[in-house]
Structure formats: C-alpha cells, structure tokens
Amino acid sequence: MDHLTVVRHPLVQHKLTLMRRKDTPTAVFRQLLREISQLLAYEVTRELPMREVEIETPVAPMRSPELDGRKLALVSILRAGNGLLDGILELVPSARVGFVGLYRDEDTLEPVQYYFKVPDHLDDRLVIAVDPMLATGNSSAAAVDLLKRQGATDIRFLCLLAAPEGVDRMRQAHPDVPIVTAAVDERLNEKGYIVPGLGDAGDRMFGTK
C-alpha cells in the first residue's frame, strides 16, 4: 500500500461535509462516523488475511475464501477511536480488539499514556489502529510505537481527517505504516486543531465540551 491513501469516494466526501458542519447534532455526527468508518474500512481492509474453506453450494462442493477475522486486530486510540471502531466491527465481528489510552497534554501537545490493552500475538496479525483525527501525529506515532513494542509488524493507520503535519510526522516515525484517510486538510492551528477540520471529534461524538 502507498504511505497515504485519500479515499475520495463521493459517499465518503458527502458524509464528511455533513460531519464538518458545526450545526450537525451529536447523534447525527455519531451515525455519520459509523457509516463513513465502514466505507473507509473497505479501503483499509483490502489486504485482510483470508483462508480457504470447503463449502457446498446448492450445485457443487467448492473451496472458497473467507475472512480470517481472528488474524485481524483493531486497535482504538481512545476515546475518539471508538467511533471508527464500532462501524468496522460490524463488518468484521470476529476481529480481536485492543485499546490504547492516550491524552494530549494541552500545553506541550505531547501524548500521555493512561491505558493499554491489546490482543495477544500481535506479531501474527494485521493491526489496524483507528483514530478519527491525525493532527500533530504525536499520539498516533506514540500509539504505533507501543504496538510495535508489543510485537506488531504489519500495521495500518485509519483516520477520518489528517493534517499535513501529522502525515509528515507519521511518515518520519513510521514509514512502514500506511495511512488511510478521507481528507488531508490545510494545517494545524496554534492549539493543535486541524483547520478547517471539524472541531474536537470526541466532543462532537459524545456531546461533551
């Protein structure tokens, strides 16, 4: 896969525009994120592990491919990652799931870890880390560091929106980790928000402020 894939499908772009609107209510925002996560999942799961199984159609026996969901680990970077996670899990319910808890120190913009729980044998899995906003890239790079330390070697990063700064940071820190996103925006502002962006994804998803 390329290091950066921007999914320009009209359905993705339309839903993203609705999500960006500041007046979009929380419940609609959450629903859109769920829908868009499934469309993005289509792109990020292109190389999912498969296995051949023996089946019988009404006409004849055959060997046919099916997903080896146990070989997939979805890792949500809390808390906003859960908005992407839920939709993808509906598509691949047998995937194993992990969580990385990182918050951003508002002064330094550096990530601080508060939770880490991932499936065993990450070295044997395709790991898809999900976080809607790739902003400075500091937490994303830190989360991927943790996953690699835990043995993961085949990692993809899925986000909804990225800033050029975040993409560059990830390219430098983890050139082996392809990024899939719906858009790369203009820049970060002085508070580390993506411009024009959509605001704080966690707040918009959960109705907090």
Could you give the residue numbers annotated as active site?
A: 104, 108, 200, 203
Instruction: In angstroms, give the least distance from the CB of 191 to ligand URA.
Output: 8
Q: How many CA atoms lie within 13 A of 79 on its CB side?
A: 9
Nearer to ligand URA, 111 or 197 (CB): 197
Residue with Cβ nearer ligand URA (42 or 99): 99
Q: Looking at beta carbons, which pairs linking 88-94 to residues 24 or more positions away fall under 8 Å?
A: 88/37, 88/38, 88/41, 88/45, 88/128, 88/130, 88/158, 90/34, 90/38, 91/38, 91/41, 91/45, 92/41, 92/45, 92/48, 92/67, 93/69, 94/67, 94/69, 94/70
Q: How far is the CB of 163 from ligand URA (least distance, A)?
A: 8
| Token pair listed for 92 | 């691949």
Give the tokens for residue 164: 């050029």
CB of 28 to ligand URA, least distance (A): 17
Is the Cβ of residue 73 or residue 133 nearer to ligand URA in the bound state? Answer: 133
Q: Which is nearer to ligand URA, 161 or 180 (CB)?
A: 161
What's the min distance (Å) between Cβ of 6 and ligand URA? Answer: 17
Separation CA 52–CA 176 (nearest Å): 28
Contacting positions for ligand URA (CB under 6 A): 80, 133, 135, 192-194, 197, 200-202
